[in-house]
Amino acid sequence: MGVSGGFLAPILASTGGGSHVALFSFYALLNLGILLIAWFKAWRSLNLLGFAFTFFIGLIWGDRFYRSEFFVSTEPFLILFFLFYVAIAVLFALRQEASIKDPVDGTLVFGVPLVAFGLQTVLVQEMEYGAAYSALALSFFYLVLAKILFARITNNVRLLVESFLALGVVFGTLAVPLAFDGRWTASAWALEGAAIVWVGVRQDKILARGFGIFLQFAAGVAFFFSAQEPLRAVPVFNSFCLGCVMISVGGLFSAWYLKQQRQRLSQEVSYVATALFC
């Protein structure tokens, strides 16, 4: 009741002419209080309540009042709120075991980056490659965070580390099509898929292995539909030629590696390896 009243008070008192800096500064103080509570107590419902109020009200304000000249005064608050709720998710996992199947934990771990990235794309929509750089920054952030948490891994944070690693890979994958044409995108996906297959086999992670295989077939389909795009005049060193080579290398490596490891894997993997080779 107290937190709900805190978030609703400036909205109920607003006449529509106030400063968004004052509003978000007030919300930053409220979220700081939630973060301090999370430092001492794992409290699922309070964390979710703060996240919902902060980003939902931010979404409404952005839809009604945001203009490009507000970028400098708005972007720091979006980054701050994002960091608050990532920290809250980490603190919760350090206090007790998180469960991604729990709707609250899943919302904080996966909902925070998705909502924040959605808002970020609106803020940078007038900047060239703004969305690509934002996705790349998120990917780097989550990969570094996963590495830091991995150093002190326990049963409580193991699932969180794997989730952050997956988010880092997903945002890194997303950054490519936001920055490059279809052929370069497909090429990068193919090599990334081969790397994920290698990691998935070494760590015996069936989901990672399956995602890497899917990513390579998706790369082939994407390359096929973008093959008719105009070619640059440079022979060999162009996106079509190099794309063909990179997709082929990814598929051949995955096929060879899966065949090499067929004793550890199921029989169906041999058929997948043959398909990748073809």
What are 92-151's pLDDT values in tens digits? 777 665 454 454 466 678 778 888 888 888 888 888 888 888 889 999 999 998 888 887
pTM to 2 decimal places: 0.67
Residues, the chain: 278
Residue closest to 102 by CA, chosen among 144, 163, 31: 163
pLDDT for position 35: 84
Percent of the chain with pLDDT over 90: 6
pLDDT for position 103: 46
Q: How far is CA 32 from the centre of its chain?
A: 24
Q: How far apart are CA 226 and CA 43, in angstroms?
A: 49
Work out the number of other CB atoms within 10 angstroms of the CB of residue 214.
Answer: 13
The segment with the largest mean pLDDT, out of 2-16, 37-51, 128-142, 173-187, is: 128-142
pLDDT at 243 over 50: yes
pLDDT for position 255: 92
pLDDT for position 140: 93
Q: How far apart are CA 40 and CA 37, in angstroms?
A: 5
Mean pLDDT, the chain, integer: 81
pLDDT at 185 over 90: no
pLDDT at 59 over 90: no
Which one has a higher pLDDT value, 151 or 57?
Answer: 57
Assign 3-class secondary structure to 258-270.
HHHCCCCCCCHHH
The DSSP code sequence of the chain is: -HHHHHHHHHHHH--S-S-HHHHHHHHHHHHHHHHHHHHH---HHHHHHHHHHHHHHHHHHHHHH--GGGHHHHHHHHHHHHHHHHHHHHHHHHHS---TTSHHHHIIIIIHHHHHHHHHHHHTTTSTTHHHHHHHHHHHHHHHHHHHHHTT--HHHHHHHHHHHHHHHHHHHHHHHHHS-HHHHHHHHHHHHHHHHHHHHHTT-HHHHHHHHHHHHHHHHHHHHHTTSPPPSSSSSSHHHHHHHHHHHHHHHHHHHHHHTTTTS-THHHHHHHHHH-
